[in-house]
Amino acid sequence: MRSLPQPLPIPATFDKSSSMWVDEAIWGHRLYDEQSPWMVLLEFLNVFYYEVEKGRGFVEANGLNTLTYKAARRLYLRNILFNNPHLGEIRVRFPHDANRWEQWLERMSSATGLHHPQFAYLKGRFDSFDDFSEVVSLVRSTSLEVNSNKRWTSKFVFPYGQNCLYEDLDNNASTNDRRFFGRTGEILYLMLSRAKRRQELLAALRQSLSKTDSTWDSVIRCLQPSEEEDLSSERANAFLPYAEHPCFDQLAEDWLAILRLNIPGFDVLPHLVNLAGLHLVKYQLSVSRELLGLSAMPIFVCEVVAPKKTLVREISADGYQENNFLPSRAVEAYISAIESSAQWQQALHDHGAFEKCRQLLSERVRWDDYEGPSDPEQLLLAFKQAAMKRHRQHVANIHRNYGRDIGLVSKRGTIKLRYAPNDSLLKTLLFANVERRVELHRFLEKLFQRYGLLFGDKEAGQVLAQGDFDKKAFQANSRRFEQRLDSLGVLKRLSDSCAYVINPYRERMP
Amino acid sequence: MTDSKWLQFLRHYGPIPRNDNMYDETIQRSARRQKIAPIEFEHPMQDLLLRCFDQRTVDPVSVILTGTAGDGKTHLCRRVWTRLNGDEKAWASDSAYLTLAFRYPKDRKEWPTSNDEELYRQVNIHFIRDLSGWAPQQGGEWEPEKEALLQKFCHSLVNPDANELFLIAANDGQLIESWRRLQQTEEVQRARQLFEDLLVEDRQERSGVRLKFFNLSRADSADLFDRALDAFLNHPGWDELRNLSAGENELFGSRCPIRHNFEILQGALVRSRLRSLLELCDRNGLHVPIRQILILLTNAVLGHTDCKDGLMTAADVPKVIAAGTISKASLFSNVFGGNLPENRRLGITIFDYLERFQIGHETSNRVDNLLIFGEQDDHLSHYFEALVAQDGFYGADPRFYAAKQEYIEGSDEGSDSQTFLDLLVAQRRGLYFKIPREWEEELNLWELTVFKFAGEYLAEVVQPLLKGVAVKRMILARLIRGLNRVFTGMLINADRELFLATSGNNSQAKVSRILLERVSVDPNKGERIALHRDPSNGSILLSVFFTPAIHEDFHLTLIRYEFLSRIALEGALPASFSKECYEDLLAYKSQLVAGLLRRQEKDGVVVGGSSVRLNFLALTEQGMPDPKFVEVAV
């Protein structure tokens, strides 16, 4: 049982948008449930490119938790792509190319977020309005969130290259209201900056990003004016409480493993996204467990979806509920620790106890929002209620939301949520953990040791109490796992229950 | 007669519940006791194997025989033993390990003509005829002498001076597992790595290593079937029954189902249809071991739904005839294990494989019309007469006619329509074996199976390529159209070129509108697309050549052929027939894109410059490709 490393102190100046500092102290500022793993990656890339350009990729030059960066806004591009319902109508109503441009430019003169919008530069870039429309249509078809009913400022171009990146903005396209870029991408960046193999990862990321086909990045640059890009104001105040943690190292290792394979083009990105999501969930649960004094590794009993209800499904659903509850329990434990701390106890017995306690809370957790009776117990109770309420609004949902987004958690075939990894996640795990080929049972072992993902009876026997599990049910689960891998084309079955898991993308030749 | 020695013996080969590890011993022991020769034939790899050890080699190396249970490993070991003058009695013992000495030319160049001992070297050949019986139990440790022997084996793999050779018979998994439990010296680890490579990559040897690897699972199932069937039908054991000169209702009389099944099995058409099924199993990557073929044949002849273990004994025959349940002994159903309860049937490999063809359950309007209304129908009555009515054993019997009547008239609900539907399944299975070659096309024989294009696959793709003849243009064109539809995600009709398209950001996207390249099917500037046969393992390959030196191959199994044909001809959606095939094809597309990039690199194609050119793919109303070029000034 490992204990948490010493958490870093609250920053002197911190984001005034935080009404207290509890979740942040435990996991960082911040893990945000409405920021999906793809959004996390996009935010991360914004930070990454900026820092690399400044020559300090994955280096916290001014000390820990001092990250400041600027992001692009690219409002011309975004207006064209996502705030522009005119193309179809214009093509139908106006047959001549010159008219079309005229009409469109007129409509776009009211584009949001720009002073004196001037879109005429586009005429010189395309042979015809038609061509322009085709390109816009194609770029839209590969964009993220394009079919959701999110505001247009929260729709994102696929990250083909640096010219595609920008930050999330509010409806007026004026500020980043942290609605969808809730800083988890910044946390991701800090995590990797503190991983042991960050130098290697930096090189691998840079190489991988530079090797992709630049066609689309160029096209997207064409949609933007040639003048200097206006960057946002400085973003700061990201906070990660630990100078090091095994979760950071594991994430870096997994990303490195993926980047080393010769996966074509942009296909790497979905895997990086899945791994980021998985490790963030694992991080939250691991830290929770450590705070509660449990062993660090969270366990995810996984069902390979079966046509009928199985025992594994039951155990998986129970395990899901247990894990889902862990972060809340951790917050409670954190608050109890404050209560039983020497300082609090002393303050209780000093005269002016209430004021002292109030002061203590203000310093420790930056909370000062109390109107009730001057009683330390009441104070603490109110604080606890406020903290739990705040936790449940967002941070408590990370496990469920990220879990669903990466394909780990699902309700498929049943009514309860439980762990049932989908094909995409299974492939990601395979690519990250199998260099060339490995025997199936060793692959299962590795999945368990590294991530706590439990599929088979051997691993179940290590964790579940004897009476609690049915060996046959887990054996059937492993067999389904084998068949699943077979249908994905990554399994070579020899006779006799001897099977090999094969990675179709061997390591890139150096 | 109360029982038949031959039938009693033959039963051992059938699908009776047994302990598989004792299979060989049981047969051999029973054979010795009854003084009947076991059913044996020459394994296609036998000569190749003997050649490794007998006087046709001057420098023998060790051999490992792998495969699944029932592939004939032990049997082949015995052949080698006998050829090298090994003692028969020693072999008859139960020992999993035996050894003999043989001499080979000392100079390793040619066999000396004289008997001078100086010209020979003595070699000890160690036979481990069953590694699983010889190795320690699960979780146990190797005994020191056995461990030493295997270490010697690992050493002999690279050491030409070794005077110890080995012939080891083992199941794949057992081989790897046993090696894992040896002391991990460098030689042991290298050996294990070698075995893994050879097994996973399906190869026989590696240069520089003194070992030949025979994987019996790679034997041609259809070839094994031919040999096994001949050995089965020509076995003298049947004489015992023929010499009975039985009466009409007795064992092997004119109404005996065992005799009738035996005679059906001798027919050329039935044989050819069965053989096709086994060949198609091979073409889907499913190998059928010899033991399974013998189960198939035995069950085909002796099977009956109501008898003990599903197999008829001599005493059962008169009872079956008297009870009027001859139709339950139908060979056509027995072939699919229809005489066995479901969970036993699915647990037996051959029936599991044959079930996948869904013969009996698949059908067409034509076939069902024939069976249900054919009697009265002008056009279909002569088919009905020839194929169903005239089959006095398994065709339309009074039970069938009665159930058919009930079904058509629809008197009441209840179990009766189910009875008829079950009988229909049996009749469809019968049709599969009875429709003569001249009627194959008009009655759409292969629509009785789930692989509608199987007949064409065998006749127009496999056969010609085996003979070295090119496949018909039309077939290749159809495959190209199927590929184009999968690669673009659109109902495109192009078949003279292969369209490599992507979606821009995801090589595995369902719809891809950005055209990267069009590869010509006919030879053109180094590009071409062709079907050919891989001589090393007989598989059919579709190869796309970007240049004569840069190409990517796709293994065209039966199921993939079916998949592409359905998409090309019927406009089926890729994900509806087989998700697996769909994924395989998208993976092939990835490979092709990589191949294209390699050619571009070689040609020195430069990306970038003052403008970007994009090829968008759209379709005309007729589904012909309508590419559109857009140029963007950067």
What is the ipTM for the molecules in this complex?
0.79
Region of residue B382 (phi > 0: left; psi between -120 and 50: alpha; otherwise: beta) = alpha
- Contact assessment for residue A29 and residue A374, using Cβ atoms and an 8 Å cutoff: no
Which whole-number Å values give the CA distances from B247 to B185, B243, B253, in the listed order? 70, 12, 5
Closest residue in chain B to residue A144, using alpha carbons only: B505
Q: C-alpha A385: how far from its chain's center?
A: 28
- Residues in A closer than 8 angstroms to B506, CB to CB, are 142, 266-267, 270
Distance CA A109, CA B145 (A): 90
- Contact assessment for residue B174 and residue B135, using Cβ atoms and an 8 Å cutoff: yes
Which residues numbered 438-477 in A keep a CB inside 8 Å of some CB on B?
439
The answer to whether the Cβ–Cβ distance between B607 and A158 falls below 8 Å is no
Distance CA A262, CA A239 (A): 34
User: Residue A90: is its pLDDT beyond 80?
Assistant: yes
The answer to whether the Cβ–Cβ distance between A160 and B505 falls below 8 Å is yes
Mutate to test the interface with B, among A216, A222, A498 (most CBs of B within 10 A): A498
Bigger pLDDT: B510 vs A240: A240
Bigger pLDDT: A448 vs B145: A448
From B553, B529, B550, select the one nearest B601 (Cα to Cα).
Answer: B550
Q: How many residues are there in chain A? A: 510
B199 touching A, CB under 8 A? yes
The answer to whether the Cβ–Cβ distance between B171 and A496 falls below 8 Å is yes
Q: Is A103 helix (H, G, I), strand (E, B) or coil?
A: helix
| Chain pair A-B, CB pairs under 8 angstroms | 106
Q: Which helix (H) or strand (E) holds A157?
A: none
| Residues B293-335 pLDDT 10s | 999 999 999 999 999 999 999 999 999 999 989 999 999 999 9
B405 touching A, CB under 8 A? no
A125 touching B, CB under 8 A? yes
Q: The pTM is what?
A: 0.85
- Residues in A closer than 8 angstroms to B634, CB to CB, are 125, 218, 221-222
The answer to whether the Cβ–Cβ distance between B583 and A502 falls below 8 Å is no
| Residues B387-396 pLDDT 10s | 998 888 999 8
B264/chain A closest Cα distance in angstroms:
34
Calculate Rg over the CA atoms of chain A: 26
Nearest CB to A266 within list B505, B513, B514:
B505
From A163, A259, A266, select the one nearest A212 (Cα to Cα).
Answer: A266
Which residues numbered 343-362 in B keep a CB inside 8 Å of some CB on A?
none
| Residues A266-280 pLDDT 10s | 889 999 999 999 999
| Cis omega (within 30 of 0) for bond into A30 | yes
**Predicted local distance difference test score (pLDDT) of residue A49:** 94
> In degrees, to the nearest 5, what angle opens at C-alpha B301 toward C-alphas B299 and B307?
65
- Contact assessment for residue B377 and residue B388, using Cβ atoms and an 8 Å cutoff: no
User: Residue A159: is its pLDDT beyond 90?
Assistant: yes
Amino acid letter, residue A123: K
B559/chain A closest Cα distance in angstroms:
13
The answer to whether the Cβ–Cβ distance between B583 and A264 falls below 8 Å is no
The answer to whether the Cβ–Cβ distance between B633 and A221 falls below 8 Å is no
**Predicted local distance difference test score (pLDDT) of residue A472:** 87
Mean of the per-residue pLDDT values of chain A: 90
**Predicted local distance difference test score (pLDDT) of residue A497:** 64
- Residues in A closer than 8 angstroms to B67, CB to CB, are 495
Q: How many residues are there in chain B? A: 634
User: Residue A1: is its pLDDT beyond 50?
Assistant: no
Mutate to test the interface with A, among B68, B630, B631 (most CBs of A within 10 A): B630
Distance CA B617, CA B629 (A): 9
B556/chain A closest Cα distance in angstroms:
15
Distance CA A303, CA A319 (A): 11
From B100, B118, B99, B113, select the one nearest B55 (Cα to Cα).
Answer: B113
| DSSP letters spanning A433-471 | H-SSEEEHHHHHHHHHHHH-EE-SHHHHHHHS-GGG--H
Amino acid letter, residue A482: E
| Cis omega (within 30 of 0) for bond into A151 | no
**Predicted local distance difference test score (pLDDT) of residue B120:** 87
Residues 6+ apart with CB under 8 A from A346: none
> pLDDT band at A507, cuts 50/70/90?
low
- Contact assessment for residue B484 and residue B499, using Cβ atoms and an 8 Å cutoff: yes
From A194, A314, A181, select the one nearest A235 (Cα to Cα).
Answer: A181
The answer to whether the Cβ–Cβ distance between B616 and A215 falls below 8 Å is no
- Residues in B closer than 8 angstroms to A437, CB to CB, are 196, 200
**Predicted local distance difference test score (pLDDT) of residue A510:** 37
Distance CA B130, CA B448 (A): 42
Distance CA A193, CA A57 (A): 8
A142/chain B closest Cα distance in angstroms:
7
The answer to whether the Cβ–Cβ distance between B579 and A131 falls below 8 Å is no
Residue B630 DSSP label: E
Amino acid letter, residue A241: P
Q: Is B313 helix (H, G, I), strand (E, B) or coil?
A: coil
Residue B66 φ/ψ, nearest 5 degrees? -120, 170
Q: State how beta strands B551-555 and A453-454 pair.
A: unpaired
A84/chain B closest Cα distance in angstroms:
20
Distance CA B579, CA B581 (A): 6
A129 touching B, CB under 8 A? no
Which residues numbered 42-101 in B keep a CB inside 8 Å of some CB on A?
66-69
A141 touching B, CB under 8 A? yes
- Residue with tokens 């481990």, as numbered in its chain: B128
Closest residue in chain B to residue A226, using alpha carbons only: B634
User: Residue B2: is its pLDDT beyond 70?
Assistant: no
From A158, A150, A176, A160, select the one nearest A236 (Cα to Cα).
Answer: A176
- Residues in B closer than 8 angstroms to A264, CB to CB, are 507, 590, 593-594
Distance CA A473, CA A476 (A): 5
Distance CA B513, CA B499 (A): 10
Percentage of chain A exceeding pLDDT 90: 60
- Residues in B closer than 8 angstroms to A135, CB to CB, are 614, 630, 632
Closest residue in chain A to residue B578, using alpha carbons only: A487
Strand partners, A502: A437
Mean of the per-residue pLDDT values of chain B: 89
- Contact assessment for residue A266 and residue A212, using Cβ atoms and an 8 Å cutoff: yes
From B17, B23, B16, select the one nearest B39 (Cα to Cα).
Answer: B23
Mutate to test the interface with B, among A422, A430, A494 (most CBs of B within 10 A): A494
Region of residue A342 (phi > 0: left; psi between -120 and 50: alpha; otherwise: beta) = alpha
Distance CA B299, CA B14 (A): 6
The answer to whether the Cβ–Cβ distance between A494 and B172 falls below 8 Å is yes
Distance CA A144, CA A424 (A): 17
User: Residue A321: is its pLDDT beyond 50?
Assistant: yes
Distance CA A176, CA A184 (A): 14
Between helix A311-339 and helix A268-291 the angle, nearest 10°, is: 50
| Residues B466-520 pLDDT 10s | 999 999 999 999 999 999 999 998 889 999 999 999 887 876 777 888 888 999 9
Q: For the ranges B38-42, B225-229, B559-563, B570-574, which has the lowest average pLDDT?
A: B570-574
- Residue with tokens 């009514």, as numbered in its chain: A415
| Residues A194-220 pLDDT 10s | 999 999 999 999 999 888 888 889 999
- Residues in A closer than 8 angstroms to B587, CB to CB, are 489, 504
Distance CA B174, CA B162 (A): 25
Q: For the ranges A241-250, B25-34, B273-282, which has the lowest average pLDDT?
A: B25-34
The answer to whether the Cβ–Cβ distance between A494 and B199 falls below 8 Å is yes
User: Residue B241: is its pLDDT beyond 70?
Assistant: yes
Amino acid letter, residue B408: I
- Contact assessment for residue B239 and residue B274, using Cβ atoms and an 8 Å cutoff: no
- Residues in B closer than 8 angstroms to A489, CB to CB, are 580, 583-584, 587
Nearest CB to A495 within list B68, B583, B587:
B68
User: Residue B613: is its pLDDT beyond 80?
Assistant: yes
- Residues in A closer than 8 angstroms to B196, CB to CB, are 437, 500
A52/chain B closest Cα distance in angstroms:
24
The answer to whether the Cβ–Cβ distance between B67 and A498 falls below 8 Å is no
Region of residue A170 (phi > 0: left; psi between -120 and 50: alpha; otherwise: beta) = beta
Residue B122 φ/ψ, nearest 5 degrees? -85, 135
Distance CA A440, CA A498 (A): 8
